[in-house]
Structure 1
Amino acid sequence: MSSNPSWTDAQVPVDPVAVPPPLREVVARWGAPADAAELPAAWVNAAGGTTFRLEDRGVFCKWAPAGVGLDLAAEADRSRWAVRWLAVPEVLEHGTCPEGEWLVTRGLPGRSAVAEDWRARPEAAVPALARGLRRLHDTLPVAQCPFDWSVPHRLARAVGAVEGLLEPPPVDRLVVCHGDACAPNTLLAEGSGEAVAHVDLGALGVADRWADLAVATLSLGWNYGPGWEGTYLAAYGVDPDPVRTAYYRALWEVGP
């Protein structure tokens, strides 16, 4: 299991989730009842991060408890930058308190690529995911990106052992990477099924495109079952690269 507290340890809750007391005033500002103890949630991960849905206002509120390693300030900065070129969450509010950190964003069209009906149709969802990532890589301007997700940057922040990772393979193509290009972080259109938006941009930055591709293809097995990597890479428009895939999956295991 990855040390990165992300999609490997996450779930879509069925029942409403308890609102942390420090967050109740925040969600009340965005339309929740002032005394709301529970709210519908779009996502919960094992680190304690929760994304609440405020459906009447069309917004989402993400909560990260202190000390869990989820940097919502970084996500806010990257979303504010990327929104000039792509459909990503518009930041409405960000704040901190001793107990944690929150991020309020405007809702986007489409639904998560791991919604039940998309998981039942991987032949449609998987190529759409790949085309969406290719569009992100082709659209976001490397020269204007102030964020780094290179191998040296990530090794400096690694939380696991890095033996064998000090010499990365040569860069194939430098792009602005999503930073967590797993299936749940892409939204697909209700009708066409095409990728229409990307979320969870906390690690977005310049890196070899295989840093994204290795993680994106790895996530397919968890969400759609085995055997979809070839379909994904073909739809993205690249041949398999076992060396870069293995390297960047190993790097993912030691930290985002």
Structure 2
Amino acid sequence: MTSLPQYSRYTWIPVTIGKSGAQVYRLDDDTRRPRLYAKSASRSTQPDVAEGLTQEAARLTWLADQGIPAAEVVELRSDGDGTWLITRALPGRSAAEIWPSAQPGAIAEAMADIARRLHALPTAGCPFDQRLSRIILEAEQRAAAGLVDLEDLDDVRAGWTVEQLLRELHAARPQYEDVVVCHGDFCLPNVLVADDGATVTGLLDVGRLGLADRYADLALMSRSLASPMNEQYGDDDVRRFFARYGADATDERIAFYRLLDEFY
């Protein structure tokens, strides 16, 4: 897909980190115009990803209205076969980057702080629904459409089939939901942090934001902190995260929401 003519004076730099399915670019300019980011998807070959960009734009705007740091939507448009989301760059660095050795613990606590702040938003004002009655149906639809990446399963489910995943999803479904406003894909690469390591400056990739059990977020961030891919973090940081948030690190919902994430 070609870049948008109205942004032709920017240098378009592909961004390959992330698994959204969209084509992502950083737009740099040698003048004083702000840095931008562009996400694009084909409506004919990637209809679910293109629709996801529309959903993400709505969620970014809503989050900003709630006072949660999120990228400003500059433009959402269709151009030919493509859907484009243009956002203004946020300050800060990815929490998944390499940080000075003294800071990972502070970052783990900053993850807990932004989660508590997000989860404290009034649920009555959130128009986005990610509760199990809807999201399990979506997971089933994604499975039927062949959208589950069986090559990227967690180690504990390596080699599983889609049928096995679905059976376990239904068998392990929690009996209740502690519903709050959740990020939906709450992991280290999706959070920006100030240089002090203690302040979150922005949330990224919010296309799955909505009403859900708080453990939907806690499960994914604790997995991210414990992942070998983020080798500077470890079990101590997971403990600090749960202690700062004030949640049970052994709750059975953690395993369920990590299983649910396999469908995305």
TM-score normalised to the size of structure 2?
Answer: 0.76
Aligned mates of 1:243, 1:58 — CA distance in 2: 42
Are 1:103 and 2:80 matched, yes or no? no
Structure 1 residues 236 and 134, CA gap change in structure 2 (3 angstroms)? same
Q: Which residue of 1 aligns with 2:98?
A: 116
Q: Please show how residues 89-238 of structure 1 align to structure 2 within 5 Å.
A: 89-117=71-99, 121-138=103-120, 140-158=121-139, 159-160=142-143, 161=162, 162-166=166-170, 168-171=173-176, 173-191=178-196, 193-220=198-225, 221=227, 222-224=229-231, 225-227=233-235, 228-238=237-247
Aligned-pair distance for 1:193?
A: 2.7
Structure 1 residues 198 and 216, CA gap change in structure 2 (3 angstroms)? same
Aligned mates of 1:26, 1:211 — CA distance in 2: 39
Q: Which structure 2 segments of 5+ residues have no match?
A: 144-161
Q: Which residue of 1 aligns with 2:69?
A: 87
Structure 1 range deviating more: 183-192 or 147-156: 183-192
Tell me the SS of whatever aligns to 1:109: coil
Structure 1 residues 251 and 164, CA gap change in structure 2 (3 angstroms)? same
1:63 partner letter? S
Aligned-pair distance for 1:116?
A: 2.6
Q: Which structure 1 segments of 5+ residues have no match?
A: 1-19
Aligned mates of 2:182, 2:90 — CA distance in 1: 20
Q: Does the CA-based 8 Å contact 1:113-1:119 persist in structure 2? A: no
Q: Does the CA-based 8 Å contact 1:79-1:90 persist in structure 2? A: yes
Q: Does the CA-based 8 Å contact 1:142-1:176 persist in structure 2? A: yes
Q: Which residue of 1 aligns with 2:156?
A: none
TM-score normalised to the size of structure 1?
Answer: 0.79
Greater helix fraction, Structure 1 or Structure 2: 2
What RMSD in Å do the two structures reach over aligned CA positions? 2.4
Q: Which residue of 2 aligns with 1:245?
A: 254
Structure 1 residues 194 and 45, CA gap change in structure 2 (3 angstroms)? closer
Are 1:58 and 2:42 matched, yes or no? no
Aligned-pair distance for 1:147?
A: 0.5
Q: Does the CA-based 8 Å contact 2:59-2:206 persist in structure 1? A: yes
Query: How many residues matched?
Result: 227
Aligned-pair distance for 1:226?
A: 3.7
Aligned-pair distance for 1:57?
A: 2.2
Aligned-pair distance for 1:26?
A: 4.6
Q: Which residue of 1 aligns with 2:146?
A: none
Are 1:25 and 2:5 matched, yes or no? yes
Q: Which residue of 2 aligns with 1:254?
A: 263
Aligned-pair distance for 1:44?
A: 3.6
Aligned-pair distance for 1:182?
A: 0.8
2:169 partner letter? L
